[in-house]
Amino acid sequence: MKKSILKCASIFLASVLTVGMCSAYSVNAKAKFSLPKKTTLSYDKKDNGGNGFYTNVIYIKGTNRSNSESILRNGMKVKSSNRKVISTKTFGKDYYLIADNNQVGIGVKLKKTGSTKITAKFKYRGKTYSVKTTVKVIKYSNPFKKIVVDGRDCTSDFKNKNGSSISFMGRNIKITPNKNWRVKSIYTYKPGATKMKKIKGSSVTIPTNCRAFITMENKKNKLTEKVIFDEMDTSEDPGLGCSYLLQFLYLICFMLNQCHSLPFPLYVSFDKQDSSEYPV
């Protein structure tokens, strides 16, 4: 009887120690962060407004809402192997740290087409991390063969890169991808919701007071271009559509891309949705 009790006690003690060791390991385990092995960005020689760090963001996998603030607070050193393509000499001028609700990103300014290696070093919970990606910068091309918004052809508004990085207004959107391009995803989001809704196909009618996030992907080089639409029926007033609004939004984006003196990271937030639902 005593032997049985001792045996049970031994098994119980071993189980407690095992759980304790596992818990200690999970607390002390090094977090996993990484950049994509390869990254493709587009450069627009004719319109420099789309080449700034507000538009070209490389997101760090493993970052989330719980660790982003700590990582940004500790700072990050970013290095480019080819400064003629992407210069990382001066924070705030050549590159920036950008965060949405779920991920930390490195916003970079593009100087020309070509290749470079980006290395980022940062600290989290006392440990130092180093993540790398090989960046290929290629010439921008319009992802749309045709995009119709509320019955109007807005294809020409995307002839420059800046058009694929700002928010438009519209409700009924129909897309015909250009050669070698495809509609990778379309999501709609209503402020206050916790998740986005994925839309099938290449057209979308945006629900009232919602946004649509459209991601186009080049099937050959895997380059992605993203467009955001805020719901508004612009069929009654063409001035609220793509062309006229675009000129004003170009100016705003250009000013954001030229900001050199901000002493803090630039936060880009789409309210409180789970942005992991929207591929970046």
Cβ-contact 169, 241 below 8 angstroms: yes
- What is the predicted pLDDT for the residue at 191? 85
- What is the predicted pLDDT for the residue at 40? 96
Phi, psi dihedrals of residue 146, rounded to the nearest 5° = -160, 135
- What is the predicted pLDDT for the residue at 11? 54
- What is the predicted pLDDT for the residue at 274? 42
Closest by alpha carbon to 57, among 104, 119, 113, 105?
105
pTM for this entry:
0.73
Beta strand residue intervals within the chain, DSSP E: 38-43, 57-59, 76-80, 95-99, 104-108, 114-124, 127-139, 144-149, 152-153, 167-170, 172-177, 181-189, 197-199, 203-205, 211-218, 224-231, 266-267
Cα 210 to Cα 207: distance, rounded to the nearest angstrom: 6
Cα 158 to Cα 124: distance, rounded to the nearest angstrom: 40
- What is the predicted pLDDT for the residue at 166? 56
- What is the predicted pLDDT for the residue at 121? 97
Closest by alpha carbon to 31, among 67, 59, 58, 57?
67
Helices (H), the chain: 2-28, 68-74, 242-257
Cβ-contact 196, 277 below 8 angstroms: yes
Cα 165 to Cα 37: distance, rounded to the nearest angstrom: 23
Closest by alpha carbon to 227, among 243, 240, 215, 242?
215
The total of other beta-carbon atoms located within 10 Å of residue 150's CB is 21
Cα 36 to Cα 247: distance, rounded to the nearest angstrom: 34
Cα 77 to Cα 145: distance, rounded to the nearest angstrom: 40
What is the residue-level pLDDT of the chain in tens, covering all 280 positions? 545 554 555 555 555 445 454 544 444 566 799 999 999 999 998 888 788 887 899 999 999 988 998 999 888 999 999 999 999 999 988 999 988 757 899 999 999 999 999 999 999 999 999 999 999 999 999 999 999 999 999 999 899 887 655 567 889 999 999 999 999 999 999 888 888 999 999 999 999 989 999 999 999 999 999 888 888 766 655 554 554 454 444 444 444 444 443 433 444 333 334 444 444 4
| SS3 state at 275 | helix
